[in-house]
Structure 1
Amino acid sequence: MTDSPIKTETRGHVLEVTLDRPKANAIDLKTSRLMGEVFRDFRDDDNLRVAIITGGGDKFFCPGWDLKAAADGDAVDGDYGVGGFGGIQELRDLNKPIIAAVNGICCGGGLELALGADIILAADHAQFALPEINSGTVADAASVKLPKRIPYHIAMEMLLTGRWIDAEEAARWGMINHVHSADTLMAEARALADKLAGGPPLVYAALKEIVRDAEGSDFQTVMNKIARRQYPTVDRLYSSEDQLEGARAFAEKRDPVWKGR
């Protein structure tokens, strides 16, 4: 559908997802559910290895929740869909790399959406904030994630005051990975996605499951689970053709050919 708020394009093993909902790419319940379906299908498609999420236009990545839709009856605690708000934050077993290409204003739930990605690239004009405090609500996912990603006091300042920061400051605190000019952002995101798409998908899956579980576990517990192959992704990796291919390629001094099996 050409009028869909979600545009997708497949390039080899890479899925590009564009949130294209003028004027600001805000997310209502319908859009969130569509995003969940898109990322669920991405998760379940063995041919797709990496996804890029970006915003339509050159001013907004995403400002988060659509307050106009809320005023018209969209419940803030309504059905966001299979992946939670924005489709990726609560999608189970999403064990593939996701790159957020932040092409403009990224605030509220839009920042939470970006934080759901594994790597965040931003245009040099991008800005970030958590302005929920000004509308009397809680930036719930950011309250959980942000103090673990950047210095506690910086995260709390953003949460408690709604202060805006630019892309350079976001990079300085480690909130994002790299800053690029607006006209090179997508080229950089695509180059990174292509590099990841050429890597070992079973290793990526194991890494994401381990890292996700480690957020709520102690070091030794996680190490024991890896050693005992109690993570499904680790067990699959250690029994795979790709595991042997990596060793063979090293011994034969050639690039490995990853098959994801």
Structure 2
Amino acid sequence: MSQPAEKPAAVEPVLLRRDSNGIATLTLNRPAQRNSLSEALMAALSDELKLIAEDKTVRVVVIAANGPAFSAGHDLKEMTARRQDEDRGRRYYQNIMRQCSALMQSIVRLPKPVIARVHGIATAAGCQLVASCDLAIAAEGTRFATPGVNIGLFCSTPMVALSRNLSRKHAMEMLLLGEMIDAARAAEFGLINKVVPADQLDSAVLDFAGKIASKSALTVSIGKEAFYEQLEKGLAEAYDYASDAMVKNMLARDAEEGIGAFIEKRDPKWEDR
């Protein structure tokens, strides 16, 4: 008598989402691969961010990770396998780099703040992911690196995010030495905002996220967009742009309400318009 066929094991999703009190937590879920950024994981993260961009119930995003590491960067095994392609992987590598670059830019352009909840290690494109987020909080013991130079593959795309967060000397130190730095040093460099004991990581992230979620979503959206736009402009052009942003903001209902509440010494009632 033949035995019934075993049901195939359920495939775990590479990305998990949980929403609570206006905070969407996206959790990288490839713990056995140290949450390396595979094609599938980057696609899932990009798709979820697109949905969140239009979701008015979400006011803040947290990017977290399951397992012992935040993210070890690109999936090098996945990438190396494509060297067998007729073009030695050229087209595939071009697509992967475009996909990763688009993902990082989508975080910057998302009209809601994004907080990285970091633990374990964040290396190469994983470090790039941390640098691309608006804020980052790390547990004590977390280590960061852009170690590509050690394996003959300079971290050129992570360099874009690093060089927009760190001083030039600190960015080049990480890129040229390829060595791990601890969380305290990462905070000194400006890569992360805060270092906390591991058992306080969730509460520290929730504290940041909760405070942001209590603000006018429209005001925060205007401010985040203006912050990144003015960074790329010359001084005079940046002031012109920021002045226009403030006029737009001043004419919004929430600015009128917030200023009125301040003058009248009461709590504002946001309508996000």
Gaps of 5+ in 1: none
C-alpha RMSD of the superposition = 2.1
* Higher alpha-carbon deviation: 234-243 or 94-103: 234-243
Does residue 19 (structure 1) correspond to residue 28 (structure 2)? The answer is yes
Does residue 162 (structure 1) correspond to residue 178 (structure 2)? The answer is yes
Does residue 68 (structure 1) correspond to residue 77 (structure 2)? The answer is yes
Q: Is the 8 A contact 2:124 2:146 kept in 1?
A: yes
Between the aligned partners of 1:31 and 1:110, the Cα distance in structure 2 is 12
Between the aligned partners of 1:106 and 1:163, the Cα distance in structure 2 is 12
Matches within 5 A, 1:42-53: 42-53=52-63
Q: Is the 8 A contact 2:31 2:69 kept in 1?
A: no
Q: Structure 1-normalised TM-score?
A: 0.90
Q: Which residue of 2 aligns with 1:90?
A: 105
Does residue 145 (structure 1) correspond to residue 161 (structure 2)? The answer is yes
Does residue 252 (structure 1) correspond to residue 264 (structure 2)? The answer is yes
Q: Structure 2-normalised TM-score?
A: 0.86
Q: Which residue of 2 aligns with 1:179?
A: 195
Q: Which residue of 1 aligns with 2:130?
A: 114
Q: Deviations over 1:56-97 (max 9, x none)?
A: 02x20001100111123383322578xx42874121741211
| Percent of residue pairs bearing the same amino acid type | 28
Larger gyration radius, structure 1 or structure 2: 2
Gaps of 5+ in 2: 1-9, 83-88
What displacement does 1:53 show?
A: 0.4
Q: Is the 8 A contact 2:139 2:198 kept in 1?
A: yes
Pairing partner for 1:78 from 73, 95, 108: 95
What displacement does 1:236 show?
A: 5.1
Pairing partner for 2:226 from 210, 213, 231: 210
What displacement does 1:235 show?
A: 6.3
Does residue 55 (structure 1) correspond to residue 48 (structure 2)? The answer is no
Between the aligned partners of 2:208 and 2:144, the Cα distance in structure 1 is 22
Q: Which residue of 1 aligns with 2:252?
A: 240
Between the aligned partners of 2:160 and 2:29, the Cα distance in structure 1 is 27
Q: Is the 8 A contact 2:42 2:103 kept in 1?
A: no
Alignment-mate amino acid for residue 242 of structure 1: D
Q: Is the 8 A contact 2:230 2:241 kept in 1?
A: no
What displacement does 1:203 show?
A: 1.8
Alignment-mate amino acid for residue 94 of structure 2: D
Between the aligned partners of 1:114 and 1:103, the Cα distance in structure 2 is 11
Q: Is the 8 A contact 2:138 2:195 kept in 1?
A: yes
What displacement does 1:115 show?
A: 0.7
Between the aligned partners of 2:20 and 2:257, the Cα distance in structure 1 is 25
What displacement does 1:2 show?
A: 6.6
Matches within 5 A, 1:122-133: 122-133=138-149
- Secondary structure of the residue aligned to 1:141 is helix
In the superposition, relative to structure 1, how do residues 165 and 10 fare at CA in structure 2: closer, same or farther (>3 Å)? same
Alignment-mate amino acid for residue 39 of structure 2: L
- Secondary structure of the residue aligned to 2:112 is coil
